[in-house]
A and B are shown apart, each in its own frame.
Chain A
């Protein structure tokens, strides 16, 4: 048989294998980066119908989270406030501001403001807000420093890995119940060394790690 393959053909299998491995690596890396919630969800910052400024209301005025999200510690669902909540103050303060026009409109007509939802748990996940905030998990863990946001964005990935990181090691993330709504709170050395573990023990913080804990 004549030599139908040039000498370089000896290297082709190596190239093919190298090429395939590089392609597979690139695809896996791309999927891992572009198709996980840290890319697809984190950073989402829609324009809201009312330019409500959290950094002003929480950061400067000093409102508690629960003033507006009033059922967060009593319900699985953290509510978005009704127009009436806004009107408690804005009937008097800055009542002629053009930014408040949609709020007045809603107040008169009784139709709620259509806020754009930012944080969504998938429908196959059962998440209970009250059980978290009443066991020392602060708003800031999942929602970021909302007190510094002019327009709220999706700060954390809220992926399953994100949930499990805390569920597996709650003592690294937990804080005293009274400091849950203090978004500026920093743990003391003593808290990190002993306090958190004691809290986890005394409050019987037993975050579920089984499938049915969240996927009921």
Chain B
């Protein structure tokens, strides 16, 4: 037997030196609280899908499905009657449709940020929220897409937006940011969908293996695409996940940059500013985290997921909301500064008009919700009060809708020619079509909760549970601080 050095062989002074030089062992934060086991995680999350459909689910799905019909009827009425049923009229030809489009597409950005950028930055806390946030992204982009699609007027010609060879021998105008938007949003949707689905494959395999009913076996069997948990599968999976995270990372920045070009590339005062791309991206992430909080806080209580989506997760999301909200507030201030510093009277008018013109109320709702309310997240007590966080997240959602309204409508309503100034109001069709998209979003989200694993089970097990570390026992600091306690 080889001689092994033990502490007994080391001289006392050397031992003292070792003790002194030894790094302080700080226990890693437990991502899953209460020392839960693999089995508990599987049971908990698969259980949400496998349990008997709860009554509230039927009720909520029924109501949201009904509300989604508002959008359907709004659109059918629009197409069958004509674009005049929307409140658009000179000089405001971009009304609620564009506001709603930017609102929904912005919400999606949190999902992509969580799934791509936080993955590359190895932020372990993302695993508890990424699946839901990605689902939110996809459903938000679905809602967003409806508005520009129908805003084109003759929706049956919407395929003209794509550069397809046609009998007219013309291409779309590649110099228009509106055309770039088509590519940006469709790429975004495709990559997000692939990322979401691909990340779900191991969990679908788990659901398939646990399935008892025949339909479940087939349903999850098809969706799992033959996932057998082999090392080779995992190797390919990890690589594909990394590649998709890499592909999605620029999309977090590019999509809303291009959305901002829709405005910034025009020459309208209030739109034609270089701050728009970063300001829009920050706003998008801000609104997205607002929506993630709005969704996650109730879900966590309904499904009793407090051990997986812990207070720490909410804290992290609040801090990102605070950071991006402050960026947005800075951008608002900087717009005003540049309007004054640039000494362009039209630009100056556009901004003064925003704050004190005919839409002053929208501007101050925006400031209150986007600039003031997230500042409350500086306080630990507020971040720890889940109800307050939820209420503030609602304010963020409202504020970001008003931001898009202020940008879109105030600049158009009071443009260069005072003789053509107007006041834009939405019609009932506008309002119902917009409300309906919330129904559609909720409807799709409820379907997701019922049929797909809402939390990345495999990732939670691999990244958040200390047992997953094969050298767990050698590094006691990696273990959860408290022993297991059955709750």
Contacts and interface: CB of A to CB of B under 8 A. Distances in A.
Contacts of B226: 5, 10
Nearest to B208: A1
Interface in A147-169: 157, 159-161, 164-165
Contact of A36 (B167, B170, B225): B167
Interface string B208-237: 110100100110010001100000000000
B208 A165 contact: no
Nearest to B164: A28
Interface residues of A, number: 15
A31 B338 CA distance: 52
A37 interface: yes
Contacts of B221: 4-5
A203 interface: no
B352 to A, nearest CB: 36
Contacts of A10: 226
Interface in A1-55: 1, 4-5, 10, 13, 32, 36-38
A32 B167 contact: yes
B56 interface: no
B218 A161 contact: no
B218 A4 contact: yes
B232 to A, nearest CB: 16
Given A1-B208, A1-B209, A160 B218 contact: no
Q: In the complex, which range does the number of interface residues on chain B fall in?
A: 10 to 19
B42 to A, nearest CB: 15
B168 interface: yes
Contact of A1 (B167, B217, B225): B217
B53 to A, nearest CB: 23
A161 B169 contact: yes
B211 A160 contact: no
A1 B217 CA distance: 9
Interface in A64-116: none
Contacts of B209: 1
Contacts of B170: 160, 164
B210 to A, nearest CB: 9
B291 to A, nearest CB: 33
A32 B165 CA distance: 9
Contacts of A38: 167
A116 B199 CA distance: 64
B167 A161 contact: yes
Nearest to B168: A160
A5 B223 CA distance: 12
A4 B218 CA distance: 8
Contacts of A165: 169
Contact of B167 (A4, A5, A13, A159): A159
A160 B169 contact: yes
A129 B455 CA distance: 68
B167 A160 contact: yes
Contacts of B208: 1
Contact of B168 (A1, A5, A161): A161
Nearest to A13: B225
A164 B218 contact: no
Contacts of A159: 167-168
A37 B167 contact: yes
A164 B166 CA distance: 12
Contacts of A37: 167
A9 B319 CA distance: 48
Contacts of A157: 167
Contacts of B167: 32, 36-38, 157, 159-161
B457 to A, nearest CB: 17
A165 B169 CA distance: 8
Most buried by B among A13, A36, A161: A161
B207 to A, nearest CB: 11
A36 B169 CA distance: 12
Interface in B276-315: none
A1 B211 contact: yes
A164 B211 contact: no
A20 to B, nearest CB: 16
Contact of B169 (A1, A4, A5, A164): A164
A165 B218 CA distance: 55
Contacts of A4: 214, 217-218, 221
Interface in B318-361: none
Contacts of B168: 159-161, 164
A214 B472 CA distance: 75
A116 B353 CA distance: 60
Contacts of A13: 225
Interface string B162-188: 000001111000000000000000000
Nearest to A32: B167
Contacts of A36: 167
A204 B169 CA distance: 24
A8 to B, nearest CB: 13
Interface in B27-79: none
Of A4, A38, A157, A165, most B-chain CB atoms within 10 Å: A4
A78 B218 CA distance: 68
Contacts of B211: 1
A159 B170 CA distance: 12
Contacts of B214: 4
A79 B218 CA distance: 70
Contacts of B218: 4
Nearest to B218: A4
5 contacts: A4-B217, A10-B226, A157-B167, A160-B170, A161-B168
Interface of B: 167-170, 208-209, 211, 214, 217-218, 221, 225-226
Closest 8 pairs (CB-CB, A-B):
A161-B169, A36-B167, A160-B168, A164-B169, A1-B209, A159-B167, A4-B217, A161-B167
Given A4-B214, A4-B218, A164-B168, 5 more contacts: A5-B221, A38-B167, A160-B170, A161-B169, A165-B169
